[in-house]
A and B are shown apart, each in its own frame.
Chain A
Amino acid sequence: MLVLTQEVDAQIRAHGAATYPEEGCGLLLGVMANDRNLVTAIRPLPNVWPDAAERRTRFRIDPQDWRAAELDALANGLDVVGIFHSHPDHPPVASARDLAWASWPGYSYLITEVRQGQPGSGRSWQLAADRSGFVEEEIEIAAGDWGVGTRDLRLGKRILNDQAPL
């Protein structure tokens, strides 16, 4: 399950709208615990797909950008728990292309549809354990505002632990 704060949810939608008609992308930062990925912050990253004309349907994250984001997240006590990207004028369904370039099961792949520049619904996916395909996961938009930071993360961990016993 993917758990987003309302603020993070709004930021991801806004990023999808801002990068329209190209695909926008970035990293979901937070904590992984008890089969839940709790996201308390995002790190928007440039879409570096080499052919600019194809960025309406393609994205790529520069590993060097990921490295910098991972270190910054670490300094704030956070981890990379997933990837978000937008599908301009296309349903938010993980594609064969997403599968071909996926990494490890456990990361959330949150896809937001952006239609005519307006952010629409989002769906989240995780790579199956045998890497054969993507399995949809539930998204929960948490009502509370946890903000960002180590103190809030501890709160997040506690919430996760309370919700599901190990």
Chain B
Amino acid sequence: MATIRIPAPLRPYTNNQSSVTVSGDSVSAALADLNRQYPDLQPHLFDGEKLRSFVNLYLDKQDIAQLQGLNTPIAEGDTLLIIPSIAGGAPSKRKVDQSALKVNQAFIITLLLLAFVLDTAWLAAFVAAVMLLGTAVPALSLFKRIYQHLLKPAGVVKPHVISDNPEPHRFAQGFGGVVVTLAVLLLWAGQPFWGWALVWLVVGLAALNLFLGFCAGCFVYYQLSRLGAPGFTRKPIR
């Protein structure tokens, strides 16, 4: 026979018993006996067949996860402690208005497609300049200003503010701006195939972000952050 200590908020499910004597020679057998004696307790410890993610079981001073998990053997007189993992905190103060990003992407896609259809490198050059200027000085980001001062006040696009880091999005735009700049240089150098191929690459990545919500530039940013690249200090907000 072993003993399982019951945390105070779970005692309503054990007839107010603070500890329960259980049979079984393993942790899983002991828990099965506990559940058999007090079936109402089960959903507070288990999510289906698995222990809830915040539930830790200690045999003496050791977390059973570092022993043999639920197969850990228990002996006569052992005591199992049920200890929760707790975390939390204030909401992140780092905010990004996704609507501003999406309007920006929509402008980039539309104007670059127009540049391709009209076969005018100058329009692509204009887009590259807006993207690079907006990266260097976010307040001068033309398409985002159109959102901020026209589309949002008019109620055409509603803001959608979420907890996120602005830096990866800025990096993504800067990267796109550099690629479009290269494309324009290739077009001016008489390389229309490669020039327009790079334009389409940026259109494709912006569309991936606009329609599917995957920011390839942000992905690269966080990979660089993970590798400790200087300047890439932000971690994904969990």
Contact partners of A103 in chain B: CB under 8 A: 9, 54-55, 84-86
Residues of A with Cβ closer than 8 Å to B? 23, 31-32, 49, 51, 54, 57-61, 63-64, 66-67, 70-71, 74, 79-81, 83, 85, 87-88, 90, 94-107, 109
**What residues on B are CB-neighbors of A71 within 8 Å?**
81
**Residues of chain B at the chain A interface (Cβ within 8 Å):** 5, 7-12, 18, 44, 54-56, 58, 61, 63, 81, 83-93, 235
Chain A residues with CB under 8 A of B56: 63
Report whether A23 and B83 are in contact in the complex, using a CB–CB cutoff of 8 Å. Answer: no
Q: B44: shortest Cβ distance to chain A, in Å?
A: 6
Question: Nearest residue in A to B8 (C-beta to C-beta)?
Answer: A79
Q: List, in ascending order, chain A residues with CB within 8 A of B63's CB.
A: 63-64
Point out which of B84, B87, B91, B235 has the most chain A C-beta atoms below 10 A from its C-beta: B87
18 A-B residue pairs with Cβ-Cβ distance under 8 Å, sorted by A, are A23-B90, A32-B11, A51-B235, A54-B235, A57-B92, A57-B93, A61-B86, A63-B58, A63-B63, A63-B83, A79-B18, A97-B88, A100-B88, A101-B85, A103-B54, A103-B84, A104-B9, A104-B84
Excluding A59-B89, A107-B8, 11 further A-B contacts by CB distance (< 8 Å) are: A61-B86, A67-B83, A70-B81, A90-B91, A94-B88, A95-B90, A101-B86, A102-B88, A103-B54, A103-B86, A109-B88
Query: Is B83 touching A98 in the complex (CB atoms < 8 A)?
Result: no
